[in-house]
Amino acid sequence: MGYGKGTFIISSYTAPVVKYRSSRMNHFMKAMMARIYWMSLRGWLDPLFDLYFWSTTPPTPAAEKPAEPPHDRLAA
């Protein structure tokens, strides 16, 4: 696209292609998604994922779920 602009194209097997107008915000969102993707592959976001999955687990008996979030990885 160039000039710091990006666009999105959305489609599926059942719907026609929807093309969005190019904008700097779309370019920024694509760049941030790429950066977050590579950070997650390197393991840098694991403490954040651990906290998210700990806080969103369905209710279980008290003996199975830890009473505290996983602080050991958050401190690193």
Global pTM reads 0.48
pLDDT of residue 62: 61
pLDDT of residue 35: 92
74 or 41: which carries more pLDDT confidence? 41
13-44 burial string, b = 16+ CB within 10 Å, else e? eeeeeeeeebeeebbeeeeeeeeeeeeeeeee
Residue 69 banded pLDDT, cuts 50, 70, 90: low
Q: Residue ranges per domain, the chain? A: 1-42, 45-76
Q: Which residues contact 8 (CB under 8 A, 6 or more apart)?
A: 19, 20, 26
